[in-house]
Structure 1
Amino acid sequence: MKKIIVLILAFTQTIVYAQQKKVKDNFNVQIRLEKGDLNKDGLIDKTVITMDTIDTTVPLRLQIFLLQPNKKFKMVFSSTDVIEPKYVNGVHAKNQIPYFFIENGFLLMNTEKNDVRFEYKFIYKNGTFQLIKVSSVVYDGQNATTETVFDLLTGVRTETTTLLGSAKILKKNTKKMMIRPLPTLQNLRTLGNKLD
């Protein structure tokens, strides 16, 4: 339970910091572009990450666009709050810029923070991106990894520790914890309060 709270709070702290900053709309460098069918309508949608190189914090903006039948893109999400700026208080944040993928109708965010790999899985529903799964993988620095998977739809959180290079399970814990309503990409910063 503590690891999943740390996992979510790490992401939450990034968003809270970004919301405290007033960011200019001068995002002039495209960092990442990913395409896929997000809403299962057969049209190829896209996610775009751009960087503001004028602002000293070097903020990053995530935008998500749905392709319309008229072949024009409609922006359904835009935020500078999702990704931590490259510089915090004048110091390089040293965090990886996340990857956003569209696979099988889901929005996936893969990132790494403090040597822990995270994946967030969202579904686009009723105009929002609902968080439905969070997972992390942690290496203990010796001979084992611990994978934590929290399925928010079922409320099942499973933590499995295995030996490196082996399928042998050293430890497995399963807990149930329902969170309703589901957190969204738009309000993910409030999730930490629901886990207390």
Structure 2
Amino acid sequence: MKKLTTIIIFIALANCAAAQQKYFAFNSKVKVGLADTLGNKVNFLSKSKGFTHMVMQVKGDLNKDGLADLAIVKQDTLADTSPYRLQVFFAKPNGEYKLIVSSTKIIDAEYPSGKGYARSDAGFDKIAIKNNVLTIINQLTRGSFSHKFRYQNGNFELIGFTQTYSDGQGTLTYEDFNLSTGIRIYKAERYDTGDVITNKKTKKLIRPLPKLQDFVPFENEL
């Protein structure tokens, strides 16, 4: 009887040990698989030829599907001009991202003439996503400007341009161009007294609207 009891206990312990081994082996595979999946997603977004320096990334819905899309700005710091690249990815329901548009022209290179020369007068500041619109903001020596793009007609089309700058001698100039309506507002005033020098509104329709992948700031006529 004692021998039978001993045999039963031994078998039970052996089964427990085998079960534990299977449990740990299974969990290890799950953890490794999860890490690989997350790693692949990160690698998918970070793979690039030369553009390895992450400048910034923002999330927000750009195509009105309720998912948080992704916009990334990277820089090729090894190239002589240190160019920037903007990429926009649409989020998919399964958590992955699909590249929609990429441009190395929409943001001026940090050193347009090479690293032995001056930095760009239009230094990159940031990107933002709000109300389904992607905004690219640049800093000037005495001001700033921004371009707004909205996904429509199968492309990211330019719908707005805003610029504010000072001449360094007391005059502040503000310009806002709504490309959707064609309304352009131009206003200049003395920032020391508040006196308005110029305040005018004009209308100019540009069709078709410029596309993000083709647009070069201040080289394309607006």
Q: Structure 2 length as normaliser, TM-score?
A: 0.69
Structure 1 residues 54 and 193, CA gap change in structure 2 (3 angstroms): closer
Q: CA deviation at 1:193?
A: 6.2
Letter of the aligned partner of 1:42 in structure 2? G
The Cα offsets for residues 123-170 of structure 1, whole Å up to 9 and x where unpaired, read as 111331111111111223233422111111111111122343777644
Q: CA deviation at 1:107?
A: 0.7
SS at 1:87's partner residue? coil
* Unaligned residue ranges in structure 1 (runs of 5+): 1-23
1:32 and 2:56 are equivalent in the alignment: yes
Query: What is the rounded CA distance, in whole Å, between the counterparts of 2:68 and 2:166 in structure 1?
Result: 36
Identify the residue that residue 119 of structure 2 maps to in structure 1.
93
Contact 1:106-1:121 at 8 Å conserved across structures:
yes
Q: Work out which structure has the larger RCO, using CA pairs closer than 8 Å and 6 or more positions apart in sequence.
A: 1
The Cα offsets for residues 88-119 of structure 1, whole Å up to 9 and x where unpaired, read as 33324244124111101001111123433111
Q: CA deviation at 1:67?
A: 0.8
Identify the residue that residue 76 of structure 1 maps to in structure 2.
100
Contact 2:108-2:123 at 8 Å conserved across structures:
no
1:119 and 2:146 are equivalent in the alignment: yes
1:137 and 2:161 are equivalent in the alignment: no
Q: CA deviation at 1:194?
A: 5.3
Bigger proportion of residues as helix? 2
Bigger proportion of residues as strand? 1
Q: CA deviation at 1:192?
A: 5.2
Identify the residue that residue 211 of structure 2 maps to in structure 1.
184
1:47 and 2:71 are equivalent in the alignment: yes
Structure 1 residues 53 and 39, CA gap change in structure 2 (3 angstroms): same
Q: Structure 1 vs Structure 2: percent identity of aligned residues? A: 34
Q: CA deviation at 1:38?
A: 1.2
Identify the residue that residue 107 of structure 1 maps to in structure 2.
134
Query: What is the rounded CA distance, in whole Å, between the counterparts of 1:143 and 1:190 in structure 2?
Result: 26
Pairing 1:7-18 to 2, within 5 Å after superposition = none
Query: What is the rounded CA distance, in whole Å, between the counterparts of 1:126 and 1:51 in structure 2?
Result: 29
1:156 and 2:157 are equivalent in the alignment: no
Contact 1:37-1:45 at 8 Å conserved across structures:
yes
* Unaligned residue ranges in structure 2 (runs of 5+): 1-47
Identify the residue that residue 10 of structure 1 maps to in structure 2.
none
Structure 1 residues 30 and 63, CA gap change in structure 2 (3 angstroms): same
Q: Structure 1 length as normaliser, TM-score?
A: 0.77
Letter of the aligned partner of 2:90 in structure 1? L
Which structure is larger by alpha-carbon Rg, 1 or 2?
Answer: 2
Identify the residue that residue 28 of structure 2 maps to in structure 1.
none
Contact 2:106-2:216 at 8 Å conserved across structures:
no
SS at 2:81's partner residue? coil
Residues 107-116 or 124-133, more deviating: 107-116
Residues 161-170 or 72-81, more deviating: 161-170
Residues 160-169 or 57-66, more deviating: 160-169
The aligned length equals: 172
